[in-house]
Structure 1
Amino acid sequence: MFLSELYRYPVKSGRAQSLQASPVGQLGLLGDRRWMVVEADNGRFLTQRAWPQLGQLRASYDAAGQLLLEAPGQAPLRVPVPLADDDLRGVTLWRDTLRVPDAGDAAALWLSALLGKDVRLVYCPEQRARYLPNGYGLNSDRAAFPDGFPLLLIGQGSLDELNRRIGRPMEMLRFRPNLVVQGAEPFAEDGWKRIRIGALEFRVLKPSVRCIFTTIDPLTGERSADREPMTTLKTFREKEGDVLFGQNLAVDGSGVLEVGMEVEVL
């Protein structure tokens, strides 16, 4: 088995950035979901579930570490990383509330124009990261702005089996993984507890619960008229009302991941 794909999402719910290699640490892949778009008036997070325009947002990092925002019909914008204690804004991400630095008016205006809604962009410094949901991981495990966990792994074999059942190909990026593993049987990752990729060890914390987000085409932003892949997933991947696909992970220590690295089940 080997690591076949690596993805990060600099802005939560923005487009994926494919990587050949990446540093990885407590918060997951370097720069992954460290930024988030929130409603200006109440700080609630926005995602493609309700705002599919976010799927047109391409975010990356320039050589100086600034965030580069790009979208069709808008001039690119560079956003400096705000200081950890500057212009703090209260935000809500599911059940978590936290105070994080606002990225400034230029970013807010740029994103408000993209979405047609008054929004702000916020950043999560490492010292303001959230702890994981109760009952999962270690007391020291933390995450920036993913829904709950720092890393998501999916086996390529699992997607291949899902596509076979659906009868047409679904893109891996509908499921927004960080790590894709090739060479395992379909859904083998369900039984893993600890794995090693390269020199790093990872703990498998819990299955990933899927939602309507997966029915959005990652390139066009259009929803599947037949509600795939959720329709098929519900026929064989539903447990106690939750539809499961992929596994959430945490890493022990820090290092570098690279596409092609061997994956070993411990």
Structure 2
Amino acid sequence: MSVRDRSGSRARTEGQTMTETNDRGGAVRVTGLYRYPIKSCRGQALAAADFDHRGIAHDREFVIVTPDGTFLTQRQLPRMALIAPELIDGGIRVAAPGMGPITVERRVEGDRLWVEIWKDRAVGIDQGDGIAAWLSAFLGLPVRLARMAEDHVRQVDQTYARPDDQTGFSDGYPILLVTEESLAELNRRLVGRGEAALPMDRFRPNIVVAGGGVPNEEDTWGDVRIGDVSLHGVKLCARCAITTTDQQTAETSKEPLRTFAGYRKFPRGVMFGQNMTFDAPGSMAVGDTVAVMSRVDLALV
């Protein structure tokens, strides 16, 4: 039957609980899990992911900001792609080309600052002068590193989510899911135009799945179960200039946005991947099967 979703904005069709299978009877499975400890910096591949109240644990836990608290990303500073954070016990180690790595203790208490992120204001804990000087030297302008305060709640856009859905320093949603089939379709089109195929890291997903055999099928996924985590597709992901930045070299180009404009253009922009919320903390692992519990009407997305 057709039902309204939790935000009242997308119609869902519910059916029998099922594990998605392709036309050969193979299951759809998780092929990649990723977190990005510092927003807009290099990600970390995970064999398994634990979810806390904000999403995958430690995802977008930190953000680089201007001295007045405005968030910075690869949109303004493509070199941020070269900053490689690594979470260690009680702290974070950060490396970048031409810089000696720096290790700092994770500050849970300290100077508080307002972080401006799009239309939101979040509370961050300043992580100190040492890491600020290191990042400023690499990026070529004065910046600070902030960690989201543990007692702060950043609510997900209520147009699409429930009152208790929250996120860290993501652009707006705790989880981004993309299928390998969607990337393969993009690359087929890119190669057909004489352009190079692109890796998945251009799109900075949290969950990558494969096996359905249909490109962009995730557009219609409503309620999804992976491991012991119940996810909800709430909004297609509008893609920005970060997708044009090579995540290994920080070089920029016009692709894939130019190609997306030819086949993934929606009223709110070019879309690729599904933003998701989730019910409660849990865990999932690479190799887990994907159970799609309901679908949404793409015409209403």
Alignment TM-score > 0.5, same fold: yes
Q: Secondary structure at the match of 2:224?
A: strand
Gapped regions of structure 1 (runs ≥ 5): none
Alpha-carbon displacement from aligned partner over 1:40-84 (angstroms, at most 9, x marks no partner) = 1x211111111111111000111x231111112212212222224
Q: Which residue of 1 aligns with 2:108?
A: 83
Is structure 2 residue 213 aligned with structure 1 residue 189? no
Aligned partners of 1:25 and 1:251 also within 8 Å: no
Deviating above 6 A after TM superposition, structure 1's stretches of 4 or more consecutive aligned residues are: none
What's the RMSD between the two structures over aligned residues?
Answer: 1.1
Q: Secondary structure at the match of 1:213?
A: helix
Is structure 2 residue 241 aligned with structure 1 residue 212? yes
CA distance in 2, matches of 1:205, 1:136: 6
- Provide TM-score, normalisation by structure 2: 0.84
Alpha-carbon displacement from aligned partner over 1:168-190 (angstroms, at most 9, x marks no partner) = 31111111000001012111111
CA distance in 1, matches of 2:158, 2:58: 24
Aligned partners of 1:26 and 1:250 also within 8 Å: no
CA distance in 2, matches of 1:251, 1:132: 11
Aligned partners of 1:7 and 1:179 also within 8 Å: yes
Is structure 2 residue 191 aligned with structure 1 residue 162? no
1:1-266 alignment, distance < 5 Å? 1-40=28-67, 42-62=68-88, 64-84=89-109, 86-167=110-191, 168-184=196-212, 185-224=214-253, 227-266=254-293
CA distance in 2, matches of 1:257, 1:181: 12
CA distance in 2, matches of 1:104, 1:92: 19
CA distance in 2, matches of 1:215, 1:83: 34
Which letter does structure 1 place at the counterpart of 2:273? Answer: G
Deviation (angstroms), 1:232: 0.8
Distance 1:254 1:99, change over 3 A: closer
Deviation (angstroms), 1:241: 4.3
Q: Secondary structure at the match of 2:186?
A: helix
Aligned partners of 2:108 and 2:150 also within 8 Å: no
CA distance in 2, matches of 1:25, 1:265: 22
Gapped regions of structure 2 (runs ≥ 5): 1-27, 294-301
Q: Secondary structure at the match of 1:126?
A: coil
Q: Secondary structure at the match of 2:151?
A: helix
Which letter does structure 2 place at the counterpart of 1:228? Answer: E
CA distance in 2, matches of 1:31, 1:233: 31
CA distance in 2, matches of 1:174, 1:126: 29
Which letter does structure 1 place at the counterpart of 2:291? Answer: E
